[in-house]
Amino acid sequence: MNVIDVWNGRHASALQLAFRMTNEAFAAHLGVAVRTVAKWHAAPDAVPRSDMQQILDVAYERADPSVQRRFTLLARPPTGPTSAQALRVAIAVVVRGDDVLLVRRRGDDSLSWQFPAGMVKPGAAAATVAEQETHAETGVHCAVRERLGERVHPVTGVIADYHLCDYLAGDAINRDELENMAVAWVPRTQLNRFIPADRIYPPITAALEGAA
């Protein structure tokens, strides 16, 4: 059995992934708020308070052996070649007034509508990639306002690095017809019609509710 002396956000997120639960399901399993789970994704080095440490201890100890085995693999700190091979994607949540920018990917019905995104190569800054890939895909110029955090994406398994961006200029057009079928400005209030709520990283929802 893998023993965690002190849980941090990364360990807690790894346990969630080992259970294969959404943020909502994992929060319900632990008996905590969804925003608590979201904070673990946003702050992987943060150490939860002592009572939360005990909750995570109990959840791990009561987990099936298969969950414990997955956690042992997922909780290993990235070192050497493994760290270099980790796939990180920068995701831009671009707002313009009451709208948010989306792209529709080709050939993947399970992830049809998404926020603009691009792979972060070694040495590149994720915020810069988010801005550049948004323009490359959609023709829209944007500027990162703040980093919303990161998580292991529940569907793709890649490290997703999220950035809230302000619209600067440009018409939204599909500039990458090999990858995308369409580009659209979508009202923030109707976002769940395009992306299921349980797939949206909670800090995104909070940011869109408070974005000017």
pLDDT in tens, 162-189: 999 999 999 999 998 878 889 999 999 9
- 33 pLDDT band, cuts 50/70/90, is confident
User: What is the pLDDT at residue 108?
Assistant: 47
Within 10 A of 108 (CB to CB), how many other CB atoms are there?
11
User: What is the pLDDT at residue 212?
Assistant: 55
Q: What percent of the chain has pLDDT over 90?
A: 47
- 37 pLDDT band, cuts 50/70/90, is confident
Indicate if the pLDDT at residue 84 is higher than 50.
no
Indicate if the pLDDT at residue 19 is higher than 50.
yes
Average pLDDT on 24-50 reads: 86
Instruction: Return d(Cα 11, Cα 8) in angstroms, integer.
Output: 5
The closest alpha carbon to 165, from 131, 132, 139, belongs to: 131
Average pLDDT on 34-42 reads: 82
User: What is the pLDDT at residue 77?
Assistant: 67
User: What is the pLDDT at residue 85?
Assistant: 43
Instruction: Return d(Cα 73, Cα 212) in angstroms, integer.
Output: 41
Q: What is the pLDDT of residues 98-152, one digit of tens each?
A: 999 999 987 644 458 999 998 888 888 999 999 999 999 999 999 999 999 999 8
Indicate if the pLDDT at residue 83 is higher than 50.
no
User: What is the pLDDT at residue 101?
Assistant: 97
Place of tokens 């944007």: 142
Q: What pairs with residue 150 in β-bridges?
A: 161
Three-class secondary structure of residue 43 per DSSP: coil
Instruction: Return d(Cα 64, Cα 185) in angstroms, integer.
Output: 44
Alpha carbon 108 to chain centroid, angstroms: 18
